């Protein structure tokens, strides 16, 4: 009988301690949530000057060199210095042609893993910078689908 009474008392103590700990954690979570509601997020710092513009390229669909039945679709944007919309449109068309040429000479194995995607991004950014005589600061690959 004493054993049962001891188990009941320990169970009640455990329930009480659990309830107190739960209430304490709930109150702490509410304080943190209230503090986050009142705080304003810091502004995002840009690594580009005020004259830089993000221009979206039209989606590019082409086949790859190896295996020949694989296709790639790339959606990309370019960060450019300030230029007229007409010049930017012409430059975007030339860069799209360069991307198609690059992809047609590439194989699927070149794009495997994070290193492959990083090399693709670096190669395409370098080609865009060369094509534009330095007016394109960066080429951003938004999506890459290979099927």
Nearest by Cα to 66 from 101, 103, 100: 103
Percent of the chain with pLDDT over 70: 95
Residues listed for the chain: 147
116-138 pLDDT, tens digit per residue, is: 999 999 999 999 999 999 899 89
Residue 33: give the domain boundaries.
1-42
Residues 27 and 67 in one domain: no
Place of tokens 């950014």: 125
Residues 110 and 136 in one domain: yes
**The domain that contains 70 carries what CATH number?**
3.30.479.30
According to DSSP H, which parts of 39-146 are helical? 85-104, 113-131
Residues 28 and 84 in one domain: no
Residues 65 and 32 in one domain: no
Whether 64 and 116 have beta carbons less than 8 Å apart is answered as: no
Residues 59 and 81 in one domain: yes
Residues 72 and 139 in one domain: yes
Residues 23 and 74 in one domain: no
Neighbours of 145 (CB within 10 A): 11
Residues 27 and 98 in one domain: no
27-80 pLDDT, tens digit per residue, is: 999 998 888 887 777 776 666 667 788 899 999 999 998 887 889 999 999 998
Residues 61 and 16 in one domain: no
Token pair for residue 40? 């304003």
């Amino acid at each position: 009988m004493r054993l049962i009474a001891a188990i009941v008392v320990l169970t009640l103590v455990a329930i009480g301690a659990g309830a107190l700990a739960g209430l304490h954690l709930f109150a702490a979570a509410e304080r943190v949530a209230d503090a986050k509601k009142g705080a304003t997020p810091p502004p995002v710092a840009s690594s580009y000057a005020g004259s830089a513009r993000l221009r979206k390229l039209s989606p590019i669909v082409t086949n790859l060199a190896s295996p020949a039945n694989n296709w790639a679709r790339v959606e990309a944007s370019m960060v450019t210095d300030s230029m007229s919309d007409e010049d930017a449109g012409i430059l975007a068309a030339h860069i799209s042609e360069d991307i198609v040429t690059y992809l047609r000479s590439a194989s699927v194995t070149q794009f495997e893993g994070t290193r492959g995607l990083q090399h693709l991004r670096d190669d395409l950014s370098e080609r865009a910078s060369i094509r534009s005589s330095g007016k394109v600061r960066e080429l951003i690959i938004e999506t890459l689908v290979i099927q």
